[in-house]
Amino acid sequence: MYRKIEKDLIIWKKNSKMPLMLIGARQTGKTYILKKFAKDNFENYIYINLEKEKEISDIFNETLNPKEIIEKIEILKKINFNIENTLLFLDEIQVNENAITSLKYFCESEDNYKIVCAGSLLGVKINRFHSSFPVGKVTIKYLYPMSFEEFLIACQEENLIKEIEKHYQNNEPLIASIHSHALDLYKKYLVLGGMPAIIKDYLNSDCDISKVNFELGEQIITSYLADMNKYTENTESIKNSKIYNAIPKELARENNTFKYSIVDKSARKIRYESSLDWLLASNMILKCNLVEKPESPLKAYINTEKFKIYLSDCGLLRTLSNIEYEEILLDKNEMYKGVLTENYIACEFIQTFKELYYYTFENYEIDFLIKLNGNIIPVEIKSGRRTTSKSLNEYIKKYNPNYSIRLSTKNFGLENKIKSVPLYATFCIKNEINH
């Protein structure tokens, strides 16, 4: 399945001498996409799983010299390493801190080595690196679950994507049948989420959602919880699990600003903050910061005490919340559909904007603030067709933005400088930043 990050990997190959590190939550497709990139763009590649191939992992404990490392890999793998046309792929690199340190020396070597690496909980490892992390010597890229646009590509809906993009630009409604078709695909994505294994199963099931093995989502969550047990001490693992499992309840609250007391009645920031940081570094959850001023740069106005937490994938949120897929497809659970919708937008935005922000003033709340073409744009989310909102109207009166965006199931349109964007077209907002 095509992933948009492939373009970034090709640019890296052409322009960078630094090793590339791909960071992302477990089962987002890091190993798959790097192997595909290696096959498509190099004559040869050497794949090494440092967690499974201990004898090779031990090389990095003996030497950090690139030539010596390659020579020993050649012996153990019984291969010849041609620097000009061979990619070295170090998977599960987080198990060996010396292997991460060696990337600095590969970068500084006179020889033009091409190295990519990935690993589960690599973000956590970097945050807790005991040695000196090779800052400025490694290109870091992030791989998230498949976006809705990538889902459409996987479903061979490229023509639909072009039509959606055209109507996003001209603010003219799609014809009703195409709008309905796009909404149907969006609701399916809300159910499935973007984990590659689940989307692949959906495609292999002739795109019949009733045939999808939804136990795959449960297995992914189980693997996340297993990672918490494997890579943390028991007390920290318990706190990590409590926070992760509490997110559906946190998001279902009317004021869903994160509260430690929802995780545990006796929970306090001083005890749980490190666990929250662990989950954020693992890319299992996303953080949306409250800002005190809707001004650029938004990061300068963060209120560090108030924020929201989302899961890294809307499909996993549905699974963790025990919501049946029929409830979403048939609009039987409007309240929690709104929660999934907000989480979906967070997952779409994080891939481009890297940081998430929201804003409150008086008794009003703006779901997201984004920066487009130098302007701070308020974004309001409605899970259905009801789009009346006092919050956005009051924000417009007070701050007079260039324009505002309202995401809902309504068709495209523009009225009173409010740009109506169907939820399925959120990717157009993301793409706008690249134009």
- pLDDT tens by residue, 248-272: 999 998 889 999 999 988 878 989 9
Contact residues for 113 (Cβ-Cβ < 8 A; gap 6+): 19, 66, 70, 83, 88, 106
Are 421 and 412 in contact by the 8 Å Cβ rule? The answer is yes
In whole angstroms, give the CA distance from residue 77 to residue 91.
Answer: 15
- Within 10 Å of residue 410's Cβ, how many Cβ atoms? 18
CB neighbour list of residue 339: distance below 8 Å, 6 or more residues apart? 248, 251, 252, 317, 321
pLDDT at 125: 86
Amino acid symbol at 240: N
pLDDT of residue 385: 60
Residue 167's pLDDT is 98
Alpha-helical runs (H) found in 296-411: 314-320, 325-329, 334-353, 390-399
Q: What is the pLDDT of residue 137?
A: 95
Give start and end residues of each alpha helix (H) in 21-65: 30-41, 54-57, 59-62
pLDDT of amino acid 388: 65
What's the confidence (pLDDT) of residue 435? 45
Query: What is the rounded distance in angstroms from the CA atom of residue 96 to the CA atom of residue 92?
Result: 8
Mapping DSSP to helix (H, G, I), strand (E, B) and coil, where does residue 358 land? strand
Determine the pLDDT at residue 156.
97
Q: Which of 243, 324, 334, 321 is nearest to 282 (CA)?
A: 243
Task: Provide the strand spans (E) within 270-388.
Answer: 285-291, 302-311, 356-361, 364-366, 368-372, 375-381
State how far the Cα of 120 lies from the Cα of 30, in Å rounded to an integer.
Answer: 9
The pLDDT, as a whole number, for residue 61 is 96
Closest-CA residue to 262 (of 245, 279, 274, 281): 245
| End-to-end alpha carbon distance in the chain | 25
Residues lower than pLDDT 70 in the chain = 384-388, 431-435
Three-class SS state of 334: helix
- Rounded Cα distance between 75 and 319, Å, is 47
Q: Which two tokens stand for residue 42?
A: 């190099």
Rounded Cα distance between 180 and 422, Å, is 11
Spatial separation of the C-alpha atoms in residues 88 and 81, rounded to whole Å: 9
Q: Is 372 left (phi over 0), alpha (psi -120 to 50) or beta?
A: beta
